[in-house]
Amino acid sequence: MSFGHNYLHSHSGLERELKFPKDKVLIDKKYGDKFEDAFLKPFSHKGVDYYKVNIYEFWKKGGVFVNLSS
């Protein structure tokens, strides 16, 4: 969970640490309602729930790339 960030953002640091494919980003679960279900894939890490989404869909929704590691 990213405290203090109240907008659609990625967790680029965590994506890099987990060696995510470049076409996916991690978003906080609370932003899942911005996407169609077909674009969401649940993902958990260290007890925190996220969604994996396609980077293009993330960009289309106005997502901001943030270097968060959790």
The confidence score (pLDDT) of residue 69 equals: 78
CA dihedral 28, 34, 37, 43 (to 10 degrees): -10
Strand spans (E) along the chain: 24-28, 41-45, 48-54
Question: Cα–chain-centroid distance for residue 41?
Answer: 10
Query: For each successive 10 residues of the chain (70 residues), what is the average pLDDT?
Result: 76 92 94 93 96 96 85
The confidence score (pLDDT) of residue 5 equals: 76
The confidence score (pLDDT) of residue 2 equals: 56
The confidence score (pLDDT) of residue 66 equals: 85
Residue 13 contacts residue 69 (beta carbons within 8 Å): yes
Query: Domains of the chain: which residue ranges?
Result: 17-60
